[in-house]
């Protein structure tokens, strides 16, 4: 007898564990009959999870926190028993904006502080000339993409709410939007940055791991009530997805994984683009320049899979910083409780998986993040050069 599960996902490489688990038969072998449902927008995934059309979902790490706190939509308690990946985003800009930043830069173009300060000078010049504000795409208001863009801009003195426009676009729509001139840049997950480069319409400026060394990007999310009613099914699903993530990250399996993910029903792009991404080798410029980053996308290594309440606290702090909610010790605690290492550990037994230990976010600028003293964290950010 098998247990049927409906799981929503967005066509991104960081859905690899889910897709591989189904395609390689890992779920079937564990008695799970998983139907993956491809969606186009994060709001669709969130809403179908919240109302019970999905049993689980591949979703942006901040969304379960926002849903559990009732931010931006109805309040539905969601828990995260598994992190599907750390990092994996990139900031891509148009050729015109890249040229403008390059003309203003003072320092290493791979240094986010140097590019952020150059962006600030570009923004100021546009304002003086009466030009329209630059427009950047991100995938959702409650997304790491939004917070990474804002963190980068603010570090250089750009107020992302006053000096530029930030617009929400589904990941597959980013490339056409920059090609059509509707946006000047975007932050999105793989493979869409690489697709923009391959089409000759964008240049990758920074990997997300340049902004944050360790950032929870996508997670497996389930309703808290569902988790309580189905503990064995959830434990089996978590174990199966960890196995699939380890398979997907193994160098010898990358070619097969790339071919699986490239199928039209999943991501539907050339397998060679996916293969480069899995190896952390991204073509960043139209002239074929390759940049390698061993932290670009983490699927299983470095204890990626265990959900870290420190990450949830950081995401909540960004919601407070950017006025999506007000600071509350009770809300901070509730946010941290969304990420559930106990559920992850229960899936394996503590004798097999060591207890999770929080690891630093590793932001490129600003104070070290300490969830025990958020007021001091915010004060240090406000005191930083150019931070709104």
pLDDT per residue over 3-35, tens digit each? 999 999 999 999 999 999 999 999 999 999 999
The structure's pTM equals: 0.95
Return the CATH fold of 89-214: D-Maltodextrin-Binding Protein; domain 2 (3.40.190)
How much of the chain exceeds pLDDT 90, in percent?
Answer: 94
pLDDT per residue over 96-127, tens digit each? 999 999 999 999 999 999 999 999 999 999 99
Cα-Cα-Cα-Cα dihedral of 285, 159, 143, 200, to 10°? Answer: -20
pLDDT per residue over 54-83, tens digit each? 999 999 999 999 999 999 999 999 999 999
Give the gyration radius of the chain's Cα atoms: 20
pLDDT of residue 386: 44
pLDDT per residue over 130-140, tens digit each? 999 999 999 99
Q: Do domains 3-87+216-268+300-355 and 89-214 have the same CATH topology?
A: yes
CATH of domain 3-87+216-268+300-355: 3.40.190.10
What residue spans define the domains of the chain?
A: 3-87+216-268+300-355, 89-214
């Amino acid at each position: 007898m098998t247990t049927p599960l409906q799981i929503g996902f967005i066509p991104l490489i960081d859905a690899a564990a889910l897709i591989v688990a189904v395609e390689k038969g890992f779920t079937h072998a564990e008695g799970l009959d998983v139907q993956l449902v491809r969606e186009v927008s994060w709001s669709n995934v969130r809403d179908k999870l919240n109302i019970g059309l999905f049993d689980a979902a591949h979703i942006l790490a901040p969304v379960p926190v926002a849903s559990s706190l009732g931010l931006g939509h109805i309040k539905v308690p969601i828990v995260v028993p598994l992190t599907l990946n750390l990092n994996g985003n990139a900031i891509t800009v148009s050729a015109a904006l890249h040229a403008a930043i390059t003309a203003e830069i003072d320092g290493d173009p791979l240094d986010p502080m140097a590019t952020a300060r150059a962006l600030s000078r570009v923004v100021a010049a546009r304002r003086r000339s009466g030009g329209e504000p630059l427009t950047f795409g991100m995938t959702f208001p409650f997304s790491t993409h939004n917070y990474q863009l804002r963190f980068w801009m603010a570090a250089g003195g750009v107020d992302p709410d006053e000096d530029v426009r930030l617009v929400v676009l589904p990941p597959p729509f980013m490339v056409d939007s920059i090609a059509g001139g509707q946006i000047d840049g975007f932050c999105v997950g793989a493979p869409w940055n690489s697709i923009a480069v391959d089409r000759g319409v964008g240049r990758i400026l920074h990997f997300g791991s340049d902004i944050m060394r360790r950032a929870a990007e996508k997670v497996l999310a389930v309703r808290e009530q569902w988790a309580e009613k189905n503990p064995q099914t959830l434990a089996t699903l978590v174990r199966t997805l960890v196995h699939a993530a380890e398979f997907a990250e193994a160098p010898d399996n990358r070619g097969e994984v790339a071919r699986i993910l490239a199928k039209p029903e999943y991501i539907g792009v050339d397998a060679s683009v996916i293969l480069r991404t899995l190896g952390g080798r991204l073509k960043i410029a139209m002239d074929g320049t390759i940049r390698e980053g061993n932290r670009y996308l983490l699927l299983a290594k470095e204890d990626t899979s265990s959900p870290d309440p420190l990450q949830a606290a950081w995401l909540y702090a960004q919601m407070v910083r950017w006025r999506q909610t007000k600071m509350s010790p009770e809300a901070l605690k509730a946010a941290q409780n969304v990420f559930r290492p106990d559920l992850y550990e229960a899936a394996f037994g503590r004798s097999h998986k060591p207890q999770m230990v929080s690891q630093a976010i590793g932001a490129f600028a600003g104070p070290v993040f300490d969830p025990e003293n958020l007021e001091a964290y915010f004060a240090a950010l406000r005191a930083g050069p150019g931070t709104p």
